[in-house]
Amino acid sequence: MDVPGLVGLTLITDLQSTDAGAALTKELYDLHLVDKREETIIAAWQYSGAGMINNYFAIASALFGFIACPILIPLAIIFVMKFVGAIICRIALDTIYKGDFKHGN
């Protein structure tokens, strides 16, 4: 996703809690450990399926009796699509919006 490795904890935290992931991202940006471009990519990853694990098992569990595939397959698809969304965001930032992030602001 072209973000620093120190973002890993933020991304993992977001799998369980939307608010904690957002707070860690803001903290990284406020401390100038990530720039605006990286913050945007992180936000794209977090936005799709925020709090994925918690929300999936708390809300979708009502449908588990009707799902025709193993329960973990939809969860895996959500997880993969988080990366796809972040990569599409990165491509857009590096092509369409390239001029907006020339100086790392």
Residues spanned by the domain of 44: 5-101
Full DSSP string of 43-88: HHHHHTTTTHHHHHHHHGGGGTTT-SS-THHHHHHHHHHHHHHHHH
When divided into structural domains, the chain yields a total of 1
pLDDT of 42 above 60: yes
62-88 tens-digit pLDDT: 888 898 999 999 999 989 998 998 899
Residue 45 pLDDT grade (very low, low, confident, very high; cuts 50, 70, 90): confident
58-67 tens-digit pLDDT: 888 888 889 8
Burial class (CB in 10 A: 0-12, 13-18, 19+), 80: exposed
